[in-house]
Structure 1
Amino acid sequence: MDLDVFVIGGVGIDTIVRVPALPLPGQETIPVQPVETYVGHTGHGVVLGCHRLGLHPGLADVIGDDAEGWRIRRAYEELGLPLTIAVHPSGTRRSVNLVSPDGNRVSLYDRRHPPGMRVDPNLWRGRVEQARHVHVSIMDFARRALPDVLAADCSLSTDLHDWDGDNEYHRDFAQCADIVFVSTSALRDKAIDWIFASGRAEVVIAMAGADGSYVHVRGEEPVHLPAIDIPGRPVVDTNGAGDAYVAAFLTTWLDGRSYYEAAEAGTIAGAWACGSRGTHTDLITAEQLMLLRR
């Protein structure tokens, strides 16, 4: 296999604004700390997290012929990681993330790509067949890669983020994946039951922020893993914590460990990510993860 993990969709530019409180105070002008920008978004976080943990990942996505797109290209050249791109006139996705002093955030996500956007399937074809595992982000164009991934000899995961359990947009991603990650922030009762009943998932990981995560393995009772504190790394920024969890989970599971061991690794990696400012600026390494698992 050429790639350990191939990620389809989910790179862009994050602008981080550190605000005095969330929700914002009701005033016209709010002084903030220096505003920073980073190559970020969910797919990139999974790629970079897997890379830091010793895997060989790659990414395919749609970007623009703009300054943000060229910044992404340079970043992947510097990392030495495969990047397959399609260029679209709508440009490179961006988000503005407001971060409070306790590390919590609100993300203002840029939906510049038009609904129903189609790209040449050669964006992912050829790579999918060479990958051990494919992670499909919930970009609209990426859903058209699902049949090709299912036809290939690899496993498939997706992150539904703040799906409520009803929104039709997320359903085919949920039905096609072997491993489903989802936030509990908006998740309604019976949504996980629906994923198991309607799809092929063997495990659903419900990530609950400060409450940890819940591991739902098909046919078994769910297991709660509480969040952890890492000595010397207080929470300063929750941006990218879920992506770090996903990367460590996939890396550990692909190493032949159980879903529960993979979730334990994800818990540690997510907590580690919360201890650094910005998006994906200091993701955990394999050595650091090994020391913290002892």
Structure 2
Amino acid sequence: MSAAILVSGLINIETTLGIDHFPLDYFPVTYAFDRVASTVSGVGYNVAKALHTLGHGVAMASLIGDDFHGQWVKQAMASLGLATEGLQASLPATPASVILYEPGGRRQIHVDLKTIQESAYDEARFVAQLADCRLAVMCNINYNRALLPAVQAAGRPIATDVHVLSDPDDAYNRDFMAAADILFLSDEGLHGRPSEELIGALQSRYHNDIIVMGRGSQGALMYVAADRQFYQAPACSPRPVVNTIGAGDALFSAFLHGYLSHGNPYQALNQACLFAGWKIGVAGAADGFLSAGELAGLTGASS
């Protein structure tokens, strides 16, 4: 399968721990049977795996460690049928994360990026992968900042997710927001500020074609510049929620799948909410993805 989408982003080793509740009380030891698991994850990996599961050809550009965990990443990708040529094993250690989650799905994320934020990805390797792709998914990891001009020079559209954002002039994310044709973010940084206000400020500054704000149990809010209108997609919960980790990655991935497949952003967002709602019925961020056929069947059953 040719790689129609290039995903450039973080891969890490993720450990999830199910707890009884937040805040977590102190105790010296507990036996969390069947509530501790480790797997390959990270925003870039989650998006690549979701798009691959949905039937798209995917290439990936990422920095991993020259260590045991880096080998684990390569094996995990190869077992899925994802090419590993874009993995640059130049870090001393592979990034890692620990996710605590409670019944009902609330989660707390602890991320150790190791040295990735001070490291660079080989531009020649990146450009070679970009040549055959119709879309570049540029996650807001620091090494991608230097690669954005190469994507723009190649004339490829850019999709990015800046996650939790409160300031439209956020210094870290400004380059990514300015380059994005499709921009995703979360409402978790709003602290009561109206969603439309922040989206409007982003659109006026960066002129993105599409902006989508994930709103958790309230679904997702989208602005489509071509139509000059907002659209609210409802949340879907087709099965019980286990852990909301990775919900935003799933929403982002499924929207790109639908939009690339048929070009209708409204239909794509509705299906993406369903895809994300199904995904959070498992504990790990990189698990619980539907295939395109399964998503279509679930869409038909819920309509």
TM-score, L = length of structure 1: 0.93
- The answer to whether the 8 Å contact 2:64/2:70 transfers is yes
Matched, 1:228 2:243: no
**Inter-partner Cα distance in structure 2 for 1:4 and 1:115:** 27
SS at match of 1:277: coil
SS at match of 1:126: helix
Give the C-alpha shift of residue 38 in structure 1: 0.8
**Inter-partner Cα distance in structure 2 for 1:37 and 1:29:** 19
CA deviation vs aligned residue, 1:134-156 (integer Å, no higher than 9, x gap) = 10111101111100111113211
SS at match of 1:96: strand
Alignment match of 2:289 (pick from 270, 283, 287): 283
What letter is aligned with 2:255? F
The unaligned stretches of length 5 or more in structure 2 are none
* Correspondence for 1:253: 259
- The answer to whether the 8 Å contact 1:236/1:277 transfers is yes
Question: Between Structure 1 and Structure 2, how many residues are aligned?
Answer: 292
* Correspondence for 1:107: 109
SS at match of 1:13: strand
* Correspondence for 2:170: 167
- Structure 1's consecutive aligned runs of 4 or more residues displaced over 3 angstroms after TM superposition are 26-31, 187-191
Deviates further, 100-109 or 25-34 = 25-34
CA deviation vs aligned residue, 1:266-287 (integer Å, no higher than 9, x gap) = 1011001011222222211111
Matched, 1:179 2:182: yes
* Correspondence for 2:98: 96
TM-score, L = length of structure 2: 0.91
1:175-254 to 2 correspondences below 5 Å: 175-187=178-190, 190-218=197-225, 220-230=228-238, 233-254=239-260
CA RMSD, aligned part only? 1.8
What letter is aligned with 1:216? Y
**Inter-partner Cα distance in structure 1 for 2:143 and 2:288:** 30
SS at match of 1:37: strand
What letter is aligned with 2:202? I
CA deviation vs aligned residue, 1:89-113 (integer Å, no higher than 9, x gap) = 4411110000111111100011312
Give the C-alpha shift of residue 172 in structure 1: 0.6
Q: Residues 193, 224 of structure 1: CA spacing in aligned structure 2 closer, same or farther, 3 A cutoff?
A: same
* Correspondence for 1:131: 133
**Inter-partner Cα distance in structure 2 for 1:56 and 1:36:** 28
- The answer to whether the 8 Å contact 1:176/1:200 transfers is no
Give the C-alpha shift of residue 31 in structure 1: 4.2
Give the C-alpha shift of residue 28 in structure 1: 4.1
Give the C-alpha shift of residue 59 in structure 1: 0.9
* Correspondence for 1:263: 269
- The answer to whether the 8 Å contact 1:239/1:274 transfers is yes
The unaligned stretches of length 5 or more in structure 1 are none
What letter is aligned with 1:105? R
What letter is aligned with 2:81? G
**Inter-partner Cα distance in structure 1 for 2:117 and 2:75:** 28
